[in-house]
Structure 1
Amino acid sequence: MVPAAREGGGPAPLASQSVSQPRSVLVTGGNRGIGRAIAEAFIAAGDKVAVTTRSGGAPEGALELKADITDPAAVEAAFAAAEEAHGPVEVLVANAGITKDTLVLRMSEEDWSSVIDTNLTASFRLAKRAAKGMLRQKKGRIIFISSVVGLLGSPGQVNYAASKAGLVGMARSLARELGPRSITANVVAPGYVDTDMTAVLSDEQKEGIRSQVPLGRYADPTEVAGAVLFLASPEAAYVTGAVIPVDGGLGMGH
């Protein structure tokens, strides 16, 4: 599912994977970075896509839903709007997340709780709400965007690593609970991706990261989107409870 390289370097745009019937897809944090690439890939495939965002800027062709996913009422309102526009959500991509990095002795209660609330608790809330409609339809795809940090750990990221590791346990429990109704639950675990979040790193930090990655480069967001599209595709109907790394080999063996 990784796009082929194009002349001049970098991956080519994802090829359109047309679907027989457009599906109702909800992507959280779909206005930038990985989430935007995922939303754009589903739009290119012909699906009906809604994205949640706090600051606006949804990709062209997507239904923009202003929502704070840490607020249960906002999540309910977002699902209601997506369902009214596109029908019951068939594919949920829980992508939105935050970081508040610092060493554990300096990490405040708020640093811990805000990251856990946004990255883990909100994902539970989204999956629970999506499952209601999926159970009625007897089909559905739930895809969590985790991180290589959730598998390997990282100094200064105790809160972030815990939140991203928790998504794996959540997905595997959901896979067992919802599997009898043909609902899959999987995890994509990106490594370092070329986004606004990594753009702020110094050249020295970037080179240090690249030196740890067997492929010797950052991922393009479209490469993460490719893995998500696969997990949502008919070809992945028998894949559930899986963790798909898109990390250039950084976390291999985990």
Structure 2
Amino acid sequence: MGHNGFPGLQGRVIIVSGAGGGGIGTAVTRMVAEAGATVVAVSRSKENLGTHIEPLAAEGLPVIAVAADASTDDGIATVLAHARRAEGELYGLVNVAGGAAPATWMPATRVTRTDWRALFAQNLETMFFMSQAVAAELTTHRLPGSIVSISSISGMNTAPFHIAYGTAKAALVAATRTLAVELAQYDIRVNAIAPGVTETPASRAYVGEDPERDRRAIAMGRRGRPREQAGAVLFLLSELAGYITGQTLLVDGGLNLKWTHLGADHTSLFLEDDAFRAAITH
């Protein structure tokens, strides 16, 4: 993308919460910094920051690594303190912090109160209270802004055997819409993206390589890349999306478009007549 900047991001400070995992958050950090903004890159893990964020700063990108837990008030205060000291004016927030460990997959009948609360804290509370703090800072200083959060395709449709995660990600979409209405008068836009299956270190824990499966399941025939999620985030942060608020953009390669009874060629698995199948696909 180069260092010529992206509409409206030069000289602005953008916080990326959950920046250090080497997946979507890290890709967002790089792309936003390349677009001309100063990025306050937040992760609970100093080790992750060392592995994934410090090399970006070493390349000369305007990235500030901050070790803080975005799920606590103290962590949020630390992040805001760094944002105030950064060069430029606070403008944006990207809520990437969230996710779910493989052990969180289970039938709805087995989910405990502890499981449920942990996934809501990780995926919904972190997004809301970080957004609240950034919105308060922006409105106090009468600054415009843009907040983008990461939901999931699991929050847009169904999430069998992952009900707490899917419901938390759906709640994030609802919070995005309501925040958008309340903050519009202050020229602060609030949007989200809902990634489909994306090749990240986190997803590798339970999604292996299987090109044939990807062709069957996803209209575009492959999983997404972190950069492709970051591109949608950058668009929503920027002034190119200046009249868009309260929206959640599916970035899923058409995964949501394929019914479960569609095969690799997008025709129904129930069609037994190959001549008919050939006739309708050519």
Relative to the length of structure 2, the TM-score reads 0.79
1:9-50 Cα shifts (integer Å, max 9, x gaps) = xxxxx5556046321010011012000000000111121001
Aligned partners of 2:193, 2:233: CA distance in 1, in Å? 7
Q: 3-state DSSP class of the match of 2:156? A: helix
Aligned partners of 2:105, 2:212: CA distance in 1, in Å? 20
Aligned to 2:272: none
| 1:68 aligned partner, one-letter code | D
Query: Which structure: larger Rg?
Result: 2
Contact in 1 for aligned 2:38/2:88 (Cα 8 Å): no
Aligned partners of 1:124, 1:139: CA distance in 2, in Å? 18
> Which of 103, 109, 124 lines up with 2:107 in the alignment?
103
* 2:41 is aligned with 1:37: no
> Which of 114, 120, 134 lines up with 1:116 in the alignment?
120
Worse-matched range after superposition: 55-64 or 114-123 = 55-64
Shift of 1:88: 4.8
Aligned partners of 2:88, 2:148: CA distance in 1, in Å? 19
Counting only pairs closer than 5 Å after superposition, residues 105-184 of structure 1 correspond to structure 2 as 105-135=109-139, 136-184=141-189
* 2:8 is aligned with 1:18: no
Aligned partners of 1:166, 1:70: CA distance in 2, in Å? 17
Q: 3-state DSSP class of the match of 2:169? A: helix
Aligned to 1:9: none
Relative to the length of structure 1, the TM-score reads 0.88
Contact in 1 for aligned 2:41/2:66 (Cα 8 Å): yes
Shift of 1:122: 1.2
| 1:26 aligned partner, one-letter code | I
Aligned partners of 2:131, 2:207: CA distance in 1, in Å? 36
Contact in 1 for aligned 2:91/2:143 (Cα 8 Å): no
Contact in 2 for aligned 1:69/1:118 (Cα 8 Å): no
Contact in 1 for aligned 2:219/2:257 (Cα 8 Å): no
Shift of the 41–17 alpha-carbon distance from structure 1 to 2, 3 Å rule, reads farther
| 2:247 aligned partner, one-letter code | A
1:29-82 Cα shifts (integer Å, max 9, x gaps) = 101200000000011112100111111333222211111122111111211122
Q: Which runs of 5+ in 2 are unaligned?
A: 58-62, 259-282
Counting only pairs closer than 5 Å after superposition, residues 173-212 of structure 1 correspond to structure 2 as 173-201=178-206, 203=208, 207-208=212-213, 210-212=215-217
Aligned partners of 2:41, 2:29: CA distance in 1, in Å? 7
Shift of 1:85: 2.3
Shift of the 79–196 alpha-carbon distance from structure 1 to 2, 3 Å rule, reads same
| 2:121 aligned partner, one-letter code | D
| Percent identical | 32
Contact in 1 for aligned 2:211/2:222 (Cα 8 Å): no
1:151-206 Cα shifts (integer Å, max 9, x gaps) = 11121111110111011111111111110111100011110001112223364877
Q: Which runs of 5+ in 1 are unaligned?
A: 1-13
| 2:93 aligned partner, one-letter code | L
Number of residues of Structure 1 aligned to a counterpart in Structure 2? 240
Q: 3-state DSSP class of the match of 1:137? A: coil
**Which stretches of structure 1, 4 residues or longer, exceed 4 Å deviation after superposition?**
14-17, 202-207
Aligned to 2:273: none
Aligned partners of 1:118, 1:49: CA distance in 2, in Å? 22
Shift of 1:89: 2.7
Shift of the 124–36 alpha-carbon distance from structure 1 to 2, 3 Å rule, reads same
Aligned partners of 2:126, 2:81: CA distance in 1, in Å? 17
Aligned partners of 2:96, 2:81: CA distance in 1, in Å? 19
